[in-house]
Amino acid sequence: MTVISALQNVHVKGSFGNFENKSENELLKIKELKNLLIVQVVQYRNSSIKIDDINFNKLKFVNQSQTVVSNENVRVLWNSPNNWLLISNKKELLKEIYSTFNENDFAITDLSHSKATIELEGPYVKEVLKKGCPFNFNILTKNMSINSAYNGISFIVDMVENEPEKVRIFSLRSFGESLYHSITDASLEFGYKCN
Amino acid sequence: MLYIFCPHCGSRSQNEFAYGGDATVKRPELNKEISDQEWNNFVYLRKSPRGKHLELWHHISGCRQWIKVERDTSTHEIFKTYKADELTK
């Protein structure tokens, strides 16, 4: 099933801002990620299952803040205590999620249609994030994620790569366009290219 | 700007949090007979101390957990933070 784009009214392809006389590598790249499987997994308070015993797609869940465990299929973001966000390009993983996590111990919610996802890549990613969010992004490295607010909009940052810096940011779908405007406004001074 | 140490996430800016009121107020026990005056006191009556105050804060743009914060209401110094279910006294 194809997810309808959350940003189709605002995301325009092209180069913008201070992009002239700059090579491709010097520009920030902004794109919308579509068709991601986004599933929230929450362990119930009265569940007696040890999360270390769970093995999902050869991944062990970690109940530690800012931690992401990942393989080529899925990224598991720590959201809050006993609460994780699973991100994948493979829709068929939903079945495996339901079979791995017992419904008596876990609440599973498919949020694929409820989120707007923007991917930023390039040399100024952290500078753009710093403009709207008070978190110290200098400590953010590969396979870390945080929940915070960007210009008042709650969002999740998932650091996918260090070199070049690449992050995915997730917000509620209804705030997606506002967040997109905030991000692109902050990117103007560096020059950015939308794919 | 205040920085509040979330016991779950670490030090975060105040604008990720929402203030949740006095953390020392206790709800009357269930099924206990109480007077209108006691109920009124529980719902409306709050102290407004100058100095150390135990408060509830909600990390609404972070881990979405409620926490307790011991803060000085005159200097805004934060002494300690606790998980919501931690005993503080």
**Residue A29 sits in the same domain as residue A119:** yes
**Model pLDDT for residues A99-157, shown as the tens digit of each residue:** 999 999 999 999 999 999 999 999 999 999 999 999 999 999 999 999 999 999 999 99
**Whether A84 and A119 share a structural domain:** no
Residues of B at the A interface, defined by Cβ within 8 angstroms = 1, 8-10, 12-13, 15-16, 60-65
Domain annotation covers residue B74: yes
pLDDT at A1 over 80: no
Check B9 against A66: CB less than 8 A apart: yes
Domain of B69 in residue numbering reads as 3-26+38-83
Q: How many domains, in total, are found in chain A? A: 2
CB contact under 8 A, B15 and A79: no
Would you say residue B64 lies in a domain?
yes
CB-CB: which of A80, A134, A149 is closest to B63? Answer: A80
> Based on the structure, what is the number of domains in chain B?
1
Asked whether A123 and A164 are in contact (CB, 8 A), the reply is: yes
Q: Tens digit of pLDDT for each residue in A42-67?
A: 999 999 999 988 899 999 999 999 99
Q: Give the count of Cβ contacts less than 8 A between chain A and B.
A: 41
Residue A146, domain extent: 14-35+113-194
pLDDT (tens, 9 = 90+) of chain B, 89 residues, equals 899 999 999 999 999 999 999 999 989 998 889 999 999 999 999 999 999 999 999 999 999 999 999 999 999 999 999 999 886 55
Chain B contact present for A134, CB below 8 A: yes
- pLDDT exceeding 90 applies to what percent of chain A? 90
Smallest Cβ distance to B63: which of A81, A134, A135?
A81
- Of the candidates A156, A150, A72, which has an alpha carbon nearest to the alpha carbon of residue A111? A156
Average confidence score pLDDT of chain A: 94
b/e burial code for range A145-184 (CB count within 10 A of at least 16 → b): bbbbbbbebbbbbbbbeeeebbbbbbbbbebbbbbbebbb
Chain A CB contacts of B9 under 8 Å are 65-66, 146-147
Q: Are A140 and A169 in contact (CB under 8 A)?
A: no
Flag if B8 and A147 touch (Cβ within 8 Å): no
The arithmetic mean of pLDDT across residues A69-91, rounded, is: 95
Residue-level pLDDT at B70: 96
